[in-house]
Amino acid sequence: MNTIQHIAVTGGSGRTGRFLVEALLREGYHLKLLLRHPEQFPVQGPSITIIKGDVLDPQAVESLVAGCDAVMSATGQRKGEPLMPSQAAFHILNAIEAQPNRQIRYITLAGLSVDTPTDEKGSVTQQATNWVREKFPDVYADLQKAYSLLQQSQVDWVLVRVPFIEFEAATGSVKVDLADCSGTKIAAGDIAEFMVAQLKEEKYLRKAPFVAGG
């Protein structure tokens, strides 16, 4: 695998995304951020390049991914806007696969409700999944479509599935499981640290681990 130095980030201005950006900067990575409103983004510096645009715009995503070694996404469904997960995944995967002679890793974030063939969800995780499926069937279906796109691609991806997010600094303690979620909440800082760790690890490539607070 290529040495990872330059990271493309979507969703970096969101509440979880800002923890991710800060964690990446602490590790010394160079970032390209795709932002709809760059004038509102508080973090600046020589290690950050900002591209104004939307993850739903394929040309903007192509510009974002060009020259990067990995893509990290903390983009979530925006309230009152068109469905995003599958379109975002579609554009990002296409942009990655269009890059010549580069093995680009894609690390993305989702909730517990995404179902995979190897799941053995316990009652709490299944109840949360059923709630999303019943209350927001379109969102659930779109999340499943995004997961299918990952499976069908040739990209090295990791889909990080998390429970309720508390917007707090990392605790340094997480539980990771491929079959079921081991907790009901997680700190945003811990999510960021786990996602950043996947830039160098191989264990969860093309898998969808549940990550919860320890």
CATH says 6-213 is which class? alpha beta
Query: What is the residue type of 115?
Result: D
Rounded CA separation 95/73 (Å): 14
Nearest to 63, CA basis, from 33, 104, 19:
33
The confidence score (pLDDT) of residue 136 equals 93
Does pTM surpass 0.85? Answer: yes
Write out the DSSP string of 65-124. HTT-SEEEE---PPTTS---HHHHHHHHHHHHHTSTT---EEEEEEETT---TT----HH
The confidence score (pLDDT) of residue 175 equals 97
The confidence score (pLDDT) of residue 193 equals 98
Domain ranges for the chain: 6-213
pLDDT tens string for the chain (214 positions)? 468 999 999 999 999 999 999 999 999 999 999 999 988 888 888 899 999 999 999 999 999 999 999 999 998 877 777 788 999 999 999 999 999 877 899 999 999 999 999 999 999 999 999 999 999 999 999 999 999 999 999 999 999 999 999 999 999 999 999 999 999 999 999 999 999 999 999 999 999 999 999 8
**Which residues, including other chains, have CB under 8 Å from residue 22's CB and lie 6 or more apart?**
43, 192
The confidence score (pLDDT) of residue 81 equals 76
Burial 86-114 (b: 16+ CB within 10 A, else e): bbbbbbbbebbeeeeeeebbbbbbbbbbb
The confidence score (pLDDT) of residue 50 equals 95
Nearest to 85, CA basis, from 61, 109, 121:
109
